[in-house]
Amino acid sequence: MKRTQPQVALVTGASRGVGRGIALALGAQGMTVYVTGRAPEKAGAQLYEQVLQGSLADTAAAISAAGGRGIPVVCEHADDAQVQALFARIAEEAGHLDLLVNNVAAIHERLIEPGPFWDKPLELVEILDVGLRSAYIASYYAAPLLLRSAQGLVCFTSSFGAGCYMHGPAYGAQKAGCDKLAADMAIDFEGHGVAALSLWLGPQLTERTRIAGERHGEQYQAFLADAETPQFNGRVIHALLNDPGLMSLSGQTLITAEIAPGYGISEDQGRQPPSHRALLGEPRRQHPARVI
């Protein structure tokens, strides 16, 4: 694959947390990275009355400082018209897209609290709108631009919650839905040089998980002891995008901790995050039948 220009990526929901870390890792590889968020500056996002740091503008500046080109785009992913306008801008400015990372999700602060779904706010279901539906819409508008790439990739950030009980039914349905979107989109992309993958990330080292760990005790904090940085996962995604064998993986749900060693990727000081397959289960294999 010969390239004369930097690769172009879009990471949705990248003001902070997982999206920000993935975007920074891609920028460190010299990529042009479009990043989306609901506001350019800090929008007062909170968790347990603690203000979360970071902003869309900060992320874009950090991408450029890392060696890439960060382009912030304010976008409310619950608004289809704004999403359409986002991709129209990418088409005009870049002409194509190599990588779409569907990461944005509506995460309610009570998501990880114990208790049945009916005792929690109904708003938790918004993760199906901004998280699952929004991933479909973004992929829909991204597809024509990905088809112009030498090798394109649609990537969904999923988790072990797709296969086991984790944080309740809304979260689980969103993650399982992402796995299914990747499997079925891969079939539609066959022969077009674009792959679709869903990635099971382990526990992530973010400001949000740090605050949650402080609130939810030693067991939660112990689980984070072997957690991954979002940048680790960004490096895995970059390696997948540039893997000559990418198309043979298309449609699969992969555990990033398991495939990272094959690409020579680890955390700082060589720490290798563990797979939680034995504890939390493995990705579901899709049946090969196709009903057209």
Question: Looking up tokens 């004369």, which residue turns up?
Answer: 4
Question: Looking up tokens 């099971």, which residue turns up?
Answer: 200
Q: Which two tokens stand for residue 230?
A: 């979002």
Dihedral sign, Cα of residue 252, residue 166, residue 120, residue 37? negative
DSSP-derived secondary structure for 176-242: HHHHHHHHHHHHHHTTTTEEEEEEEE--B-SHHHHHHHHHH-HHHHHHHTTPBPHHHHHHHHHHHHT
Q: Which two tokens stand for residue 58?
A: 């900060």
DSSP 22: H
Burial class (CB in 10 A: 0-12, 13-18, 19+), 222: exposed
Map residue 154 onto helix, strand or coil.
strand
Residue 140 a catalytic site member: no
Map residue 65 onto helix, strand or coil.
helix
Dihedral sign, Cα of residue 37, residue 38, residue 44, residue 48? negative
Which member of 140, 141, 165, 171 is catalytic? Answer: 171
Q: Quote the CA–CA distance of 113 and 175 in Å, as a whole number.
A: 18
Give the residue numbers annotated as catalytic, written as ranges: 171
